[in-house]
Amino acid sequence: MIFLSGILTVALALLGTPLFIIISASALLSFYLVGIDSSIVVIEMYRLAKTPMLIAIPLFAFAGYVLAESQAPSRLVRVSRAVLGWLPGGLAVVVILACTLFTAFTGASGVTIIALGGLLLPALLSEKYPEKFSLGLVTTAGSLGLLLPPSLPLILYGVVTQTSIDQLFIAGIVPSALLVLLLSLFSVYKGVETQIPSSRITVREVINAIRAAKWELPLPAVILAGIYSGFFAISEAAAITAFCVVVVEVAIYRDVRLGDLPRIMQKSMVLVGGILIILGAALALTNYIIDAEVPMKLLNFLKVHIESRLVFLIMLNIFLLVVGCMIDIFSALVVVVPLISPIAQAYGIHPVHLGIIFLVNLGIGYSTPPVGMNLFIASFRFERPVLKLYMASLPFLVILLLALIIITYVPSLSLFLVKPGGP
């Protein structure tokens, strides 16, 4: 019976049934089978109103959508170009940094491709970067910002595992820097190899570009400083961001009309509703899973086959890559994390480190052929065949996988800032 319904559920999920329906159905059925009243499912969903951190999600999502509709992306690109354009491969490095920052603020690499891609791809092509390189770059660079504040997926991981979100954001710094560094080195190498002339830095343009963005540049600085110093809680940082973004984009730059705000609110809340309803359903299912000691059973099974932490991590990496390219990062987090995190802890993996592994992995999965979501988004956005994007993103994936291996197998990279003196 359980086995049969399990297969049926997976089949329904693969056919495209919304995941919150799948998860709710599993929870309802599981509790029914053990004779617990179905109202438990709603009791668990009501926990959405008892988790203070969650306030950050609608606020950041809304702010991200407003930014995406404004001219902020082009001002951001202009500043980074003025400052970094002199490097060989400078524009490519600009792409990496701009995408990283933008994804950190919008929490979704797909949004970055749509908001920044249309700006960055033509710029790259006009500077004679090879098309394949440019496509691969804008498709994969978006997944770099997932580890930096105020990234929504990292907040969600913290909520699901009850890990300190502040610690997660601190732990994300070095791994993000590593990812950015490796991709940048590759870009500089590519820039030198294809002999792309680097633009000269002019003080005037730097000043002008910074002046044009003077109302927006302080925001990331304030948010980062506030979060890292512990002066703001994440939800407070979200409140400040949402409020300031509206004031700056609507009242100061007038990029977004006041009349557009309700529409943007609706658009962003459709995303938030989609994520949080899955989280609500997953809270119920997780409750059952923990009660039924499923992670323990899974662990006992795994212990027989997997002895070392190393092998476990390899399996985890592969598993998450597959998951990452099948389902969206938010649902992957709320569904998979509760199952895996007790097991990972039994293998001696620090929950903060596990969070970093999850996000890097799922982020890469997003751009992994054949079904990574970003490839389809990019294919749609840039009007190129998906096959071409497969080929284009391959070299970048190799680099990202290399970084993933380092991040996974050198835990201190993530943890040394969190716990001074090493793990």
Partner 1 sequence: MIRALSGCLKKGLWLFDKLEYLVLVFLLTVMITLAFLQIFLRIFFATGILWGDPFLRHLVLWIALLGAAMATKEGKHINIDVISRTLPDRGKVAIQAFTDLFSTCVCVFLIQASLKFIRDEYQAGTFAFLNIPTWAVAVIFPIAFGLIALRFAMSGLRNGTIAIRGSAR
Binding site for partner 1 (CB under 8 A): 12-21, 24-25, 28, 37-43, 45-46, 48-52, 54-55, 57-59, 62, 232, 235-236, 238-240, 242-243, 246, 262, 265-266, 269-278, 280, 326-328, 330-331, 371, 376
The amino acid at 295: P
State the nearest-atom distance from the C-beta of 288 to partner 1, in Å: 14
d(CA 379, CA 386): 5
The answer for 306, left when phi > 0, alpha when psi is -120 to 50, beta otherwise, is beta
Minimum Å gap between C-beta 45 and partner 1 is 7
In this structure, the number of other CB atoms found within 10 A of the CB of residue 108 comes to 29
Q: Least distance from C-beta 373 to partner 1, angstroms?
A: 9
* Residue with token string 């498709």: 139
Nearer to partner 1, 258 or 405 (CB): 258
- Report the b/e string of 124-145 with b at 16+ CB within 10 A: beebebeeebbbbbbbbbbbbb
- Any idea what DSSP says for residue 215? T
Alpha-helix residue ranges (DSSP H) falling in 230-260: 234-246
* Contact call for residues 98 and 137 (beta carbons, < 8 A): no
Q: Which is nearer to partner 1, 181 or 270 (CB)?
A: 270
Instruction: Give the nearest distance from C-beta 86 to partner 1 in angstroms.
Output: 40
DSSP letters spanning 147-209: GSTT-HHHHHHHHHHT--HHHHHHHTHHHHHHHHHHHHHHHHHHHHHTTPPPPPP-HHHHHHH
Q: 18 CB contacts (<8 Å, ≥6 apart)?
A: none
* Rounded-to-integer distance, Cα 279 and Cα 273, Å: 10
Min separation Cβ 155 and partner 1, Å: 13
How near is the Cβ of 370 to partner 1 at its closest, in Å? Answer: 9
CB of 83 or CB of 224, closer to partner 1: 224
Output Rg (C-alpha) for the chain, integer angstroms.
Answer: 22
In angstroms, give the least distance from the CB of 265 to partner 1: 5
Q: By C-beta, is 16 or 197 nearer to partner 1?
A: 16
Residue 209: CB partners within 8 Å, gap ≥ 6?
75, 78, 79, 81, 82, 83
Q: Rounded to whole angstroms, how far apart are CA atoms 423 and 417? A: 10
Burial of 366 (0-12, 13-18, 19+ CB in 10 A): buried
Residue 355 CB, nearest approach to partner 1 (Å): 20
Q: State how far the Cα of 122 lies from the Cα of 33, in Å rounded to an integer.
A: 57
Q: 232 or 358: whose CB is closer to partner 1? A: 232
Q: For residues 275 and 360, which CB has a smaller minimum distance to partner 1 in the complex?
A: 275
- By C-beta, is 127 or 328 nearer to partner 1? 328
* Nearest alpha-carbon partner for 312 in 183, 320, 25, 124: 320
Give the nearest distance from C-beta 39 to partner 1 in angstroms: 4
Task: Give the residue with the Cβ less far from partner 1, 60 or 133.
Answer: 60
CB of 42 to partner 1, least distance (A): 4
